[in-house]
Amino acid sequence: MTKSNGSRRFSKRAIDIEPFRVVEILARAKELERQGREIIHLCAGEPDFSTAAPIREAGMRAISEGCTGYSEVGGIPKLRQALSEFYAEDYGIHVPPEKILITPGASGGILLICALLLNPREAMLVTDPGYPCNRHFMRLVEANAQLVPVTAQDNFQLTPELINQNWKENTVGAMVASPSNPTGTTLSRDDLKKISILLKKLGGHLIVDEIYHGLGFKKDIPSILEIDPNAFVVNSFSKYFGMTGWRLGWLVAPEDAVKEMEKLAQHLFISLSTPAQYAALACFEERTRIILDKRREIYRERKDFLLQALISLGFSVPCVPEGALYIYTNASKFTEDSDFFCMELLEGQGVAVTPGTDFGLIGAKQHVRFAYTADMDLLSSAVDRIAKMAC
Amino acid sequence: MTKSNGSRRFSKRAIDIEPFRVVEILARAKELERQGREIIHLCAGEPDFSTAAPIREAGMRAISEGCTGYSEVGGIPKLRQALSEFYAEDYGIHVPPEKILITPGASGGILLICALLLNPREAMLVTDPGYPCNRHFMRLVEANAQLVPVTAQDNFQLTPELINQNWKENTVGAMVASPSNPTGTTLSRDDLKKISILLKKLGGHLIVDEIYHGLGFKKDIPSILEIDPNAFVVNSFSKYFGMTGWRLGWLVAPEDAVKEMEKLAQHLFISLSTPAQYAALACFEERTRIILDKRREIYRERKDFLLQALISLGFSVPCVPEGALYIYTNASKFTEDSDFFCMELLEGQGVAVTPGTDFGLIGAKQHVRFAYTADMDLLSSAVDRIAKMAC
């Protein structure tokens, strides 16, 4: 640690960690809106719908009844039970509440998993491109994300071959995502099985990000828990359940790991949001599920529209997204500097999208992620505006 | 990392971090309640009042209006502004919104500060006894809390002499709390000035936990910001503002540090609870402040009652608490094992209190913390029950 002007500077960790560009773009977009500009948001992984009415009503009821105190740090028992039933009904598998931990967003779950599994200088395999925060959580605890370049040929996913090739002495596991951010690709039952078997052989942990489950456009998007009950799963109430601003997620892990992470959560979080948990109980009501499933079909329609439109404009889409909220495009026809391209598109045309540089290093400067988080009219208007830039 | 049964075990960090006993006792108490037992809660640092009505109403209004999406990661501008005005009105000081960061509980603030300021193997001075999570946050980022034994003679606080004596090559700062948990003691204006001057001389950071501000029983409990505008302050909407289950806090820091922590928060938290932030805006309304100030007077009455009652029973209270929600007692007349004592008191008499072992090592087995978080009838009944154990 170096001194300057008599006072100490910041940690090396803080210097190493890069900004999350999507959050910066979002902030800039909100600033422009406060100045009166009309911005079309295709940037953040946030459903443009408010939280569904039954969930909001349940939250308001809890607040009205004074459910505003600390909760059990692992989650209110009713919510852990509701998730256990959700796995039984939606996936046909038995996941006891003792294997489920409620977390402050999926972010809280990733923090706990990294704190639990990674010693300093140990590493976990992640895809490049992939969800950027993963590598920063690993950096936080002085461990490393080992970026594995993945290509359209592999559906932008880790394969057993890639895991084998990249496994080192200090590697302790692999993190995959299905459906993935930013590419929207999924891992099949067979893919998951092969990865799980290999990781067992290697003695490594398997962590699967399933936060875009429920927002899939093909029939069979299995949970790793159907295949490997010892895997770690990160999930969230933000995406399919549409509760972004409530900050609530969950994880599933082996029971002894849950117990250890609950201990860590006692110090790191003290408690979860109690109103959010009571609100989340309404996620599993039939009337809510009907709303949420309708919204997924709306996303499908938007994805189909935007995909065609972007391709027509000259963006190339190496893998058709099978889920999540994104289209990951190769924009090399228009730019060799996606940061600059995205900033120009925001400032000049009022369309907020995310540069590939958020998601890794490989081809990052040529890629742009579009989130279809605006309605068809806005999407159509966004396409017109993008066309002005992309000519 | 060692392997067992072909699968990897947990990190050394996870093994090192001890359970937060108060959270475990709280969980056990809730379990007993579900079994039909009537438990008196003098355990967690949680006001027994529900969140004040105007705050709850503001939260419900926000949810009803669909304010359920991601917020700016540093907090909605209105809330940062409201806090800036709060410092102007309550403390008579200018704290610009740019120096304020909203956090997911004070816990989120401590995480950001530790991530920002501590390299691996660097250390920060903390008091023993003191708030236990601080040292675990430091452990999380592979740094160390350097426990400094403090005694009643020093009001259980760090002094310039203690800081000087304990400062080492790898020490980068000191964390103090006023009013403090578990002892309820405060630092005077003069204490703070001396500590601030010394830390400047040493080139170290000063972090002050002010989460019990507003719950003080003496006239002048200054904020370090009145004395040293470059200090780091951790604060919370949980205690005086009574919003525990909403998970909202804030920190104040030099502007360049806030900018860095905002960057870290982008990855670690993505967003804060949006309903909680809109609810918190109502904290600063006059009608809310009247409710909250009344509650403080109720705490004062309880503190006075419980203090006398415990002393009559034979507990010794080395420092009369000047704030916070706790009485830190020496229970050596009754036990040399505070963990066992507290568990017996919970299981046998249905009174939940916290063993000194949560707060450090020095004298921990002889100390017990009582939180006056129950009304006078319950407190009186608790005293009767404790009397049965303490004879």
What the block records as the tokens of A83 is 């998730």
Whole-number Cα distances in Å, A296 to A43, A374, B228: 18, 13, 53
Residue B251, strand partner residues: B101, B234
Residue B362 has pLDDT above 70, yes or no: yes
State residue B3's pLDDT score: 44
Neighboring chain B residues of A117 at a CB cutoff of 8 Å = 8, 10-11
B122/A70 Cβ within 8 A: no
Of A203, A243, A267, the CB nearest to B6: A203
Comparing CA positions, the residue from A274, A251, A276, A215 lying closest to residue A49 is A215
Give the pLDDT band (50/70/90) at residue B247.
very high
Of A3, A69, A200, the CB nearest to B6: A200
| Pair B28, B11: CB distance under 8 Å | no
A141/B13 Cβ within 8 A: yes
State residue B8's pLDDT score: 52
A136/B267 Cβ within 8 A: yes
The mean pLDDT of A246-259, rounded to a whole number, is 97
Q: What angle do CA A284, A57, A216 make, to 5 degrees?
A: 40
Q: Which residue of A has its CA nearest to B47?
A: A69
Of A117, A136, A244, the CB nearest to B271: A244
Measured CA to CA, the distance from residue B302 to residue B308 in angstroms comes to: 10
Chain B: closest CA distance from residue A118 (Å): 6
What the block records as the tokens of A100 is 């489920």
Tell whether omega for the bond before A182 is within 30 degrees of 0, i.e. cis: yes
When scoring A117, A119, A267, A325 by the number of chain B Cβ atoms within 10 A, the one with the most, hence best to mutate, is A267
Of B120, B142, B266, the CB nearest to A19: B266
CA dihedral B186, B188, B189, B192 (to 10 degrees): -70
Model confidence pLDDT, tens digit, residues A337-386: 999 999 999 999 999 999 999 999 999 999 999 999 999 999 999 999 99
Neighboring chain A residues of B115 at a CB cutoff of 8 Å = 11, 13-14, 140
- Write down the H helix ranges in A126-239: 133-140, 160-166, 189-202
Measured CA to CA, the distance from residue B34 to residue A78 in angstroms comes to: 12
Domain locations in chain A as residue ranges: 11-50+288-389, 53-284
State residue A168's pLDDT score: 97
| Inter-chain Cβ pairs, chain A and chain B, closer than 8 A | 250
Q: B24-50: string of b/e by CB count within 10 Å (b at 16+)?
A: bbbebbbebeeeeeebbbbbbbbbbbb
- Collapse the DSSP code of B329 into the 3-class scheme (helix H, G, I; strand E, B; otherwise coil) and give the result: strand
Q: What percent of chain B has pLDDT over 90?
A: 92
CA dihedral B110, B111, B115, B116 (to 10 degrees): -40
What the block records as the tokens of B170 is 């790898």
Measured CA to CA, the distance from residue B232 to residue B257 in angstroms comes to: 9
Q: Are strands A171-177 and A123-128 parallel, antiparallel or unpaired?
A: parallel
Model confidence pLDDT, tens digit, residues A262-271: 999 999 999 9
B260/A10 Cβ within 8 A: yes
Chain A: closest CA distance from residue B335 (Å): 26
Measured CA to CA, the distance from residue B387 to residue B380 in angstroms comes to: 11
Give the pLDDT band (50/70/90) at residue A47.
confident
Chain A: closest CA distance from residue B158 (Å): 20
CATH number for the domain formed by residue range(s) A53-284: 3.40.640.10
Model confidence pLDDT, tens digit, residues A180-213: 999 999 999 999 999 999 999 999 999 999 999 9
Chain A: closest CA distance from residue B247 (Å): 6
When scoring B7, B63, B205 by the number of chain A Cβ atoms within 10 A, the one with the most, hence best to mutate, is B63
Residue B203 has pLDDT above 50, yes or no: yes
Comparing CA positions, the residue from B104, B16, B31 lying closest to residue A249 is B104
What the block records as the tokens of A384 is 């017109």
What the block records as the tokens of A229 is 């009950």
Measured CA to CA, the distance from residue A361 to residue A363 in angstroms comes to: 6
| Pair A7, B173: CB distance under 8 Å | no
Overall size of chain A counted in residues: 391
Of B13, B173, B200, the CB nearest to A6: B200
Neighboring chain A residues of B59 at a CB cutoff of 8 Å = 63, 275
Measured CA to CA, the distance from residue B81 to residue A159 in angstroms comes to: 50
Q: Which residue of A has its CA nearest to B122?
A: A1
Measured CA to CA, the distance from residue B339 to residue B367 in angstroms comes to: 9
| Pair B321, B303: CB distance under 8 Å | yes
B132/A20 Cβ within 8 A: no
Q: Can you say whether residue B77 is alpha, beta or left, with left for phi > 0 and alpha for psi between -120 and 50 degrees?
A: alpha
- Write down the H helix ranges in chain A: 12-16, 21-34, 53-64, 77-86, 105-117, 133-140, 160-166, 189-202, 255-268, 274-280, 286-313, 338-349, 376-389
The mean pLDDT of B24-40, rounded to a whole number, is 91
When scoring B7, B22, B23 by the number of chain A Cβ atoms within 10 A, the one with the most, hence best to mutate, is B23
Amino acid, res. A54: P
Q: Which helix (H) or strand (E) holds B292?
A: helix B286-313
| Pair A248, A258: CB distance under 8 Å | no
Q: Which residue of B has its CA nearest to A249?
A: B269
- Write down the H helix ranges in B324-391: 338-349, 376-389
Comparing CA positions, the residue from B355, B383, B378 lying closest to residue B39 is B378
The mean pLDDT of B359-381, rounded to a whole number, is 96
Q: Tell me the CATH architecture of domain B17-46+289-389.
A: Alpha-Beta Complex (3.90)
Measured CA to CA, the distance from residue A188 to residue B269 in angstroms comes to: 30
Model confidence pLDDT, tens digit, residues B267-282: 999 999 999 999 999 9
Whole-number Cα distances in Å, B203 to A8, B139, B223, B259: 6, 22, 21, 21
Model confidence pLDDT, tens digit, residues B68-88: 999 989 999 999 999 999 999
* Other CB atoms within 10 Å distance of the CB of residue A191: 20
Residue B7 has pLDDT above 90, yes or no: no
Q: For residue A89, what is the DSSP state?
A: I
Give the pLDDT band (50/70/90) at residue B26.
confident
Give the pLDDT band (50/70/90) at residue B391.
low
Model confidence pLDDT, tens digit, residues B108-152: 999 999 999 999 999 999 999 999 999 999 999 999 999 999 999
Tell whether omega for the bond before A222 is within 30 degrees of 0, i.e. cis: no
Measured CA to CA, the distance from residue B75 to residue B272 in angstroms comes to: 7
Q: Which helix (H) or strand (E) holds B371?
A: strand B367-371
Q: Can you say whether residue B82 is alpha, beta or left, with left for phi > 0 and alpha for psi between -120 and 50 degrees?
A: alpha
B46/A260 Cβ within 8 A: no
What the block records as the tokens of B207 is 């972090």
- Collapse the DSSP code of A44 into the 3-class scheme (helix H, G, I; strand E, B; otherwise coil) and give the result: coil
User: HEC string of B157-202?
Assistant: CCCHHHHHHHCCCCEEEEEEECCCCCCCCCCCHHHHHHHHHHHHHH
* Other CB atoms within 10 Å distance of the CB of residue A54: 19
Chain A: closest CA distance from residue B273 (Å): 5
Q: For residue B102, what is the DSSP state?
A: E
The mean pLDDT of B221-238, rounded to a whole number, is 98
Amino acid, res. A90: D
Q: What is the ipTM of this complex?
A: 0.95
Q: Are strands A367-371 and B3-4 parallel, antiparallel or unpaired?
A: unpaired
Q: What angle do CA B211, A20, A26 make, to 5 degrees?
A: 85
What does pLDDT average to over chain B? Answer: 95
Min mean pLDDT across A21-35, A124-138, B265-279 is at A21-35
The mean pLDDT of A309-323, rounded to a whole number, is 96
Greater pLDDT, A87 or A28? A87
Chain B: closest CA distance from residue A245 (Å): 4
B368: buried, middle or exposed (CB in 10 Å: 19+, 13-18, 0-12)?
buried
Q: What percent of chain B has pLDDT over 70?
A: 97
When scoring B8, B267, B272, B358 by the number of chain A Cβ atoms within 10 A, the one with the most, hence best to mutate, is B267
Q: Are strands B100-103 and B249-252 parallel, antiparallel or unpaired?
A: antiparallel
A11-50+288-389 is classed CATH 3.40.50.300: no
State residue B253's pLDDT score: 98
The mean pLDDT of B330-345, rounded to a whole number, is 95
What does pLDDT average to over chain A? Answer: 95
Comparing CA positions, the residue from B158, B163, B223, B214 lying closest to residue B189 is B223
B271/A140 Cβ within 8 A: no
A266/B20 Cβ within 8 A: yes
Q: For residue A96, what is the DSSP state?
A: -
Chain A: closest CA distance from residue B257 (Å): 8
Neighboring chain A residues of B27 at a CB cutoff of 8 Å = 72-73
Of B11, B268, B270, the CB nearest to A119: B11
Give the pLDDT band (50/70/90) at residue A311.
very high
Q: Which residue of A has its CA nearest to B271?
A: A245
When scoring A12, A32, A56, A68 by the number of chain B Cβ atoms within 10 A, the one with the most, hence best to mutate, is A68
Query: Chain centroid to CA B50: how far?
Result: 19
- Collapse the DSSP code of B325 into the 3-class scheme (helix H, G, I; strand E, B; otherwise coil) and give the result: coil
A246/B73 Cβ within 8 A: no
First to last CA, chain A: 49
The mean pLDDT of A25-41, rounded to a whole number, is 92
Chain A: closest CA distance from residue B119 (Å): 5
First to last CA, chain B: 49
Signed CA dihedral, A241, A242, A246, A248: sign only: positive
State residue A26's pLDDT score: 85
* Other CB atoms within 10 Å distance of the CB of residue A318: 16
Residue A36 has pLDDT above 70, yes or no: yes
- Collapse the DSSP code of B391 into the 3-class scheme (helix H, G, I; strand E, B; otherwise coil) and give the result: coil
| Pair B113, B234: CB distance under 8 Å | yes
Min mean pLDDT across A41-45, A375-379, B21-25 is at B21-25
Chain B: closest CA distance from residue A57 (Å): 8
Tell me whether the CATH fold assigned to A11-50+288-389 matches the one assigned to A53-284: no
Chain A: closest CA distance from residue B272 (Å): 7
Residue B64 has pLDDT above 60, yes or no: yes
Q: Can you say whether residue B125 is alpha, beta or left, with left for phi > 0 and alpha for psi between -120 and 50 degrees?
A: beta
